[in-house]
Structure 1
């Protein structure tokens, strides 16, 4: 837990019951505790066990303190650290990463503090696999993944969870067993039925969960295709969608260059990294697949090429290169003294070409940004998660409408998005204009997206979130400052509460 501007901090620790561990934060720049906001916190406590969590929540209630849960502090939407000028608060972190595997049922039980990589490595010990992959899996905790409904190259956590349990702001132990498929399809607001899923720290503290594992495929085929145009890559992607397609990553040439990968003798505008899995395959299936791909390329006279990995080492090299893109972009931004604008947008597949082309054009021509887009195409049959990352000199720069007159379609878009001034604001508006969402994986209730969530979500979904908050945390112990911000935005939009 963090504590901020609380008198007698060290002495107050004596009243907190055993099971907590104090962590001194000597500098406002100390990580992982202050990565998104600076100068807000003096110390941290990590907790272990349900009784410890309950006693600390009770202490916060008795002393009018607010709580923010923290996982691995990946924190891409600024929801896991205190807001600036916050009310006195603690920030709770899980001091346990215990794991146990039920081999017969292919289920792993994990404490919320376990990282995605911890879970994957534990599953491998039993020749099983946990199919959630993303670049920060070495630091991202499973509790944080559940709280944001995080997604990776293959799945979302909502596809893999069996049960979740934690302690609410009411100090109630709440276990939720998944009996029906969750309806949540992004990370904007919590799931309607399973409130821990996508809760983003607003209802309580997730303690542990159970997750599905799977046996490794008997045969796995990985392809990397290069295409001379976005339209050709999307046409081919539509052609090969089938149950055996477990991974499909659309990668722009700019994003691939950030990963420092040069797989072909020539460069292409877009690439598709695809993986097919089946439990039983004919020995000739690889040859048949390659023959089918080459025939399709030749038939349509495409500017394209393909490679098929010949070993698990080659496959892991491609996957590691893809996972490294975000980290490489952050490093590039630091070395160039630029800002990295990173948005995770959910775009319907039928609007994906329009979004990618026009968003990239606007970012380059009117904001002077360098876009590095890539996305997950296998998470959902009808949507693609687009990580639209841009290197930009000034993220607050506003565009000049005069230059957009050259493109009637862009003029139409910009005239409708009259409240969007910055590149980030326009991309969020554009994703909703195309029937998408502004937070596909990272959480819509953090500081960065809170205004967008209230602005673009329908009243029914927002009202359901309010009802969940009042049910699980009526005293507003969790995320108090952001909850107050939410209510202010909500009232301004609907003029009622």
Structure 2
């Protein structure tokens, strides 16, 4: 393969082909440390044209490609798994090409971090609302390829709904330029949706036109102790009735999740004096300046306390306090990583079925694993729960982790019984590639495979992921 590597060096320059083992190692493992593979090399193109030339050369040699952005995924979708692949790193494709404030759009390259896109929008007095815990390192190309969700889906939608156009390098090296900032374009198949959520298996996204929104000038955040999980759904409906579209986030956090954050994240503290089983983090925002959202939040929570839905609450009195409350939610994944390995699930069910799922799946798990610790949290406003379990005693955890197939079956069967999904926002990657076959109709899988064969007949784009 020396001829291929030499050709890659000619395209991107010697400094941007990584093949020394020590230099290549960071790109071979995922963020969780669960998956580690081997690769021929990693390549860092600086433009769409360079990336297209890399793809053409690899296609000519019959060598598979693994696209990788910030490598913050949780299902092993961005690391090689069969050896001999070329990793294409998109970090040098990091330009903001255009901000069109009249059209409320921003055109960015795939290697821009999510935080950089947010900052570019804010510099023009606009909001790009996608928000994730990993936003400082995750890249827009990865967000698009996994159809990332985050905490503001309730108001603004997921990445798919925030995207108007794409530029994509196809598996044969052709460049599809679909960078159109149109909200209405009824001229046939909407091809961008093939690539959003495809995890790099159909092509490599190199740029996107994304929607912008007015920048919020009024924001209020509350941390709420709930009567039970059912109260979360009732409070969500109450706040929607009170605040309407100003309700921008509604997160649920179980007590075990909060305890892990308090244990492992320096500088955190419990906002309330007493411990409770369930909490909600509620955020209202509005583009108009002035004290608009605080009275609405106080009104909604006051009514909820009178009816017994809410047992206690604290409202942020400053941006610093709001950030501190949000840190309790955003640091849960990191706290779990410090605590040690767990069996993780990223599931969605209809919002109305969340309490039923929590009760039934919890009872089934405790029946077989009496001392299991269930760490449940997530975006209850859009039905997406992160539902993770381990043993409280680390010495017992290795034996429990070996029961992953049985745990998955309990959780996923409960999700399926409620017409839900076993992957809400993380994708399938390597982690759920086989598992999904139990829960998708054979016809759905065959249609997906037909699309894959049509666009990538040689099977060179991110092989052994998703399908």
| TM-score range for the pair, normalised by the shorter chain length | 0.7 to 0.9
Partner of 2:375: 372
Matched, 1:224 2:223: yes
Partner of 2:358: 356
Is the contact made by 2:68 and 2:78 (CA closer than 8 Å) also made in structure 1? Answer: yes
Residue 207 of structure 1 aligns to a residue in which SS?
strand
Matches of residues 262-411 of structure 1 in structure 2 within 5 Å? 262-280=270-288, 283=291, 286-287=294-295, 289-298=297-306, 300-302=307-309, 304-333=311-340, 339-367=341-369, 368-378=371-381, 380=382, 384-392=383-391, 393-394=397-398, 395-398=400-403
Residue 55 of structure 2 aligns to a residue in which SS?
helix
Please say which of residues 198-207 and 250-259 is displaced more in the overlay. Answer: 250-259
**Distance in 2 between residues matched to 1:350 and 1:48, nearest whole Å:** 47
How many angstroms does 1:319 deviate by? 1.7
Structure 2 unaligned spans of 5+: 263-268, 392-396
**Distance in 2 between residues matched to 1:284 and 1:174, nearest whole Å:** 45
Partner of 1:18: 11
How many angstroms does 1:329 deviate by? 0.8
Which whole-Å deviations, capped at 9, do the CAs of 1:34-78 have from their partners, x for residues lacking one? 234335135311112222122212211221111111111113111
Partner of 2:449: 466
Please say which of residues 201-210 and 425-434 is displaced more in the overlay. Answer: 425-434
How many angstroms does 1:421 deviate by? 4.9
Residue 349 of structure 2 aligns to a residue in which SS?
strand
Residue 78 of structure 1 aligns to a residue in which SS?
coil
Partner of 1:126: 124
Is the contact made by 2:284 and 2:293 (CA closer than 8 Å) also made in structure 1? Answer: no
Matched, 1:427 2:424: no
Is the contact made by 1:26 and 1:42 (CA closer than 8 Å) also made in structure 2? Answer: no
**Distance in 2 between residues matched to 1:128 and 1:164, nearest whole Å:** 21
Residue 410 of structure 2 aligns to a residue in which SS?
helix
Cα separation, partners in 2 of 1:345 and 1:180, compared to 1, 3 Å: farther
Please say which of residues 313-322 and 141-150 is displaced more in the overlay. Answer: 313-322
**Distance in 2 between residues matched to 1:309 and 1:438, nearest whole Å:** 34
Which whole-Å deviations, capped at 9, do the CAs of 1:119-163 have from their partners, x for residues lacking one? 112222223221111111112111011011011000211121121
Cα separation, partners in 2 of 1:199 and 1:348, compared to 1, 3 Å: same
Matched, 1:32 2:27: yes
Residue 29 of structure 2 aligns to a residue in which SS?
coil
Partner of 1:63: 61
Normalized per residue, which structure has more helix? Answer: 2
Aligned length: 434
Cα separation, partners in 2 of 1:28 and 1:254, compared to 1, 3 Å: farther
**Distance in 1 between residues matched to 2:169 and 2:247, nearest whole Å:** 38
Is the contact made by 2:160 and 2:196 (CA closer than 8 Å) also made in structure 1? Answer: yes
How many angstroms does 1:282 deviate by? 7.7
Is the contact made by 1:202 and 1:478 (CA closer than 8 Å) also made in structure 2? Answer: yes
How many angstroms does 1:449 deviate by? 0.6
Partner of 1:92: 88
Indicate the RMSD between aligned Cα atoms, in angstroms. Answer: 2.6
**Distance in 2 between residues matched to 1:285 and 1:129, nearest whole Å:** 18
How many angstroms does 1:292 deviate by? 4.3
Structure 1 unaligned spans of 5+: 1-6, 183-190, 334-338, 399-419, 487-497
- Which of residues 163, 166, 180 is equivalent to 2:165? 163
- Which of residues 413, 420, 427 is equivalent to 1:436? 420
TM-score normalized by structure 2?
Answer: 0.86
Is the contact made by 2:252 and 2:278 (CA closer than 8 Å) also made in structure 1? Answer: yes
How many angstroms does 1:482 deviate by? 4.3
**Distance in 2 between residues matched to 1:167 and 1:283, nearest whole Å:** 47
Is the contact made by 1:66 and 1:87 (CA closer than 8 Å) also made in structure 2? Answer: no
Residue 422 of structure 1 aligns to a residue in which SS?
helix
**Distance in 1 between residues matched to 2:175 and 2:40, nearest whole Å:** 29
**Distance in 1 between residues matched to 2:465 and 2:292, nearest whole Å:** 57
Partner of 2:266: none
Which whole-Å deviations, capped at 9, do the CAs of 1:169-198 have from their partners, x for residues lacking one? 13221234576799xxxxxxxx98621111
